[in-house]
């Protein structure tokens, strides 16, 4: 009996997985997904990627999950006069024929409470759930933090208080 119910559950899961893989998930492609290698001692890190929407409809990522941390959230950063405010966002919008850029200093998939220390080259399975119920699985590679001028401040010169 137990076996049967398990089999049914498994079959249902497979079926639903198949059903999800339509809609938004089909029109969205993921470019260069990566996870920032968390320094030893760090309990959180972020995943970054570019989401391109080839479809004619706006879509949203409403939820994410990943294999490397216990908690996954969608976050962004707000730079208020040099103060970085990290905030969860309810969704990441990807306009029709447009793209959403998840990059350092901005939108990211926040990975909290890492299950174990990670190393460069590890793969992290990230599942993105879209607003139409479809979902997409992405394999992101763990990379070392790279200096990437992502903020508008990158063009600024350093500020001097005294000449």
Partner 1 sequence: MSQRLLFAVVALLAMAVIALALFWQPQLPSVPGLSSAPAGGDFVLTSADGPIDTAALRGKVVLIYFGYTYCPDICPTSLAVTSQALGKLAPDELALVKTVFVSVDPERDTPARLKSYVEFFHPSIVGVTGSAEQVALAAREYGAVYARQDVGGAGYVIDHSAWTYVVAPDGHLAGRIPHGATVEQTLAEIRKWLPSSSTPKGSS
Distance (Å, whole) CA 154 – CA 150: 7
Assess 145 for contact with partner 1 (CB under 8 A).
yes
Return the residue of 19, 22, 79, 119 that touches partner 1, per CB under 8 A.
79
- Cβ distance to partner 1 smaller for residue 5 or 158: 158
Distance (Å, whole) CA 126 – CA 55: 22
**Structural tokens at position 157:** 């010169």
Assess 160 for contact with partner 1 (CB under 8 A).
yes
The SS3 call for residue 101 is strand
Return the residue of 20, 28, 33, 108 that touches partner 1, per CB under 8 A.
108
Assess 86 for contact with partner 1 (CB under 8 A).
yes
Which residues are 65's β-sheet partners? 127
- Cβ distance to partner 1 smaller for residue 97 or 119: 119
Instruction: Compute the residue count for the chain.
Output: 163
Burial of 51 (0-12, 13-18, 19+ CB in 10 A): buried
Residues 22-51 touching partner 1, rule: CB under 8 A, are 36, 38-46
Return the residue of 3, 85, 120, 121 that touches partner 1, per CB under 8 A.
85
Minimum distance from residue 136 beta carbon to partner 1 (Å): 22
Minimum distance from residue 21 beta carbon to partner 1 (Å): 27
Nearest one of 94, 102, 101 to 56, comparing CA atoms: 94
């Amino acid at each position: 009996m137990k076996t049967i119910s398990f089999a049914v559950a498994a079959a249902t899961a497979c079926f639903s997985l198949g059903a999800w893989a339509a809609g938004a998930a089909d029109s969205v492609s993921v470019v260069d997904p990566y996870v920032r290698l968390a320094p030893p001692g760090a309990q959180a890190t972020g995943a970054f990627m570019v989401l391109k929407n080839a479809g004619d409809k706006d879509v949203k990522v409403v939820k994410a999950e990943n294999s490397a941390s216990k908690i996954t959230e969608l976050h962004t950063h707000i730079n208020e006069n040099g103060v970085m405010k990290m905030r969860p966002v309810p969704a990441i919008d990807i306009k029709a024929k447009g793209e959403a850029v998840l990059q350092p200093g901005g939108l990211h998939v926040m990975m909290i409470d890492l299950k174990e220390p990670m190393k460069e080259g590890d793969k992290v399975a990230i599942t993105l759930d879209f607003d139409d119920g479809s979902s997409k699985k992405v394999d992101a590679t763990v990379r070392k933090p790279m200096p990437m001028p992502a903020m508008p401040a990158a063009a600024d010169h350093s500020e001097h208080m005294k000449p």
